[in-house]
């Protein structure tokens, strides 16, 4: 690979070939899987408007063919939109690993960071070891990170994105650790084969989007996910229905808001500082999102670090960028500039 050509080369009329890499979407896939095609379209259009020559390439489990294809295409760089491969979030790191092998530059976090953050247990261990608060967890078939305490727990997939298999049935009141082990075993298959339980923080939920800049990451406008008109006793979580099922109560009553009272400013500043610490801890690049819960005492808890958050027009990252008066083309340029 000859590396990325300069802006001067582009000004001389040399077109830069860019592969927009994404997970292959099978026929009959759900709306969550099809969403990546929306991202491919909008990113490709933004690249073309900036003088690049984009080409979408899907990734399947046929890695040999992909390596051969990319070697023939000889792209200047890859815009990496891979969120899963063959429907498996645990394979997300394979795309940047193959690109490293081929010495092709690519956008976003490097393979090591993608692996560490996509495995939620590894991410939580790193957060805890570095003094960043994350809810206490118990892994299926492994030792707990802290002493078990009776209470509410949420069962999550280790590898898949947070909304997969997440609903009110994922939240349970547990008095004994053995009961929790049994429930995790019963849900393991539905959650991609690996799951864990963490203490459920019954509080406010925040998403903080980060975008690379010339002086380090910029934290875009914090967003709070508000649970409007949830009846008493209804668990407040951002599950699969809230994100994807347009005919559900959760979809219409789980609202993103950028409006905050003045007395929230110290909390928002704290969340901003923590988001930057996550960026630095995992050596992130390009763009990212950090998800938080804040308990009734005001203590923030880091739930997840996402190295390639959704770039769709109806997604949170796009909304945060708009709130910061950034055009989508500006966002794409800053992601590319951080290669």
Query: Which candidate, 35, 15, 18, places its Cα nearest to that of 79?
Result: 18
Answer yes or no: is pLDDT of 4 > 60: no
**Residue-wise over 84-114: b if at least 16 C-beta within 10 A, else e?**
bbeeebbbbbbbbbbbeebebebbbbbbebb
pTM for the full model? Answer: 0.92
Residue 131 has a pLDDT of 98
Burial class (CB within 10 angstroms; exposed 0-12, middle 13-18, buried 19+) of 177: middle
Identify the H or E element spanning 210: strand 204-213
CA distance 208 to 260: 14
Q: Tens of pLDDT along 292-322? A: 999 999 999 999 999 999 999 999 999 999 9
Burial of 211-248, coded b for 16+ CB within 10 Å and e otherwise, reads bbeeeebbbbbbbbbbbeeeeeeebbbbbbbbbbeeee
The two tokens of residue 170 are 């994922």
Q: What is the pLDDT of residues 19-61, one digit of tens each?
A: 999 999 988 888 888 999 999 999 999 999 999 999 999 999 9
pLDDT for residue 32: 80
């Amino acid at each position: 690979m000859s590396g990325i050509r300069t802006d001067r080369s582009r000004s001389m009329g040399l077109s830069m070939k860019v592969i927009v890499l994404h997970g292959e979407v099978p026929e009959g896939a759900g709306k969550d899987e099809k969403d990546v095609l929306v991202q491919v379209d909008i990113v490709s259009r933004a690249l073309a408007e900036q003088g690049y020559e984009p080409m979408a390439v899907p990734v399947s489990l046929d890695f040999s063919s992909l390596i051969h294809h990319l070697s023939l295409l000889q792209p200047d760089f890859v815009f990496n939109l891979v969120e899963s491969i063959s429907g498996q979030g645990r394979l997300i790191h394979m795309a940047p690993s193959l690109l490293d092998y081929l010495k092709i530059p690519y956008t976003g976090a490097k393979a090591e960071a993608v692996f560490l953050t996509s495995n939620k247990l590894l991410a939580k261990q790193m957060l805890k070891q570095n003094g960043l608060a994350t809810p206490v967890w118990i892994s299926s078939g492994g030792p707990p990170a802290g002493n078990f305490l009776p209470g509410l727990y949420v069962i999550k997939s280790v590898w898949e994105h947070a909304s997969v298999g997440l609903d009110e049935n994922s939240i349970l009141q547990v008095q004994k650790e053995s009961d929790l082990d049994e429930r995790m075993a019963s849900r393991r298959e539905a959650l991609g084969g690996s799951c864990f339980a963490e203490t459920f923080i019954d509080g406010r939920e925040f998403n903080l989007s980060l975008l690379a800049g010339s002086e380090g990451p910029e934290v875009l406008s914090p967003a709070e996910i508000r649970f409007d008109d949830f009846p008493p006793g209804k668990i407040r979580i951002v599950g699969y229905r809230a994100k994807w099922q347009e005919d559900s109560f959760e979809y219409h009553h789980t609202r993103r808001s950028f409006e905050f009272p003045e007395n929230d400013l110290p909390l928002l500043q704290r969340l901003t500082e923590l988001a930057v610490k996550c960026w630095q801890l995992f050596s992130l690049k390009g763009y990212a999102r950090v998800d938080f819960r804040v308990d009734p005492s005001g203590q923030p808890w880091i739930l997840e670090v996402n190295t390639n958050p959704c770039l769709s027009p109806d997604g949170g990252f796009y909304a945060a960028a708009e709130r910061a008066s950034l055009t989508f083309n500006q966002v794409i340029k800053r992601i590319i500039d951080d290669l």
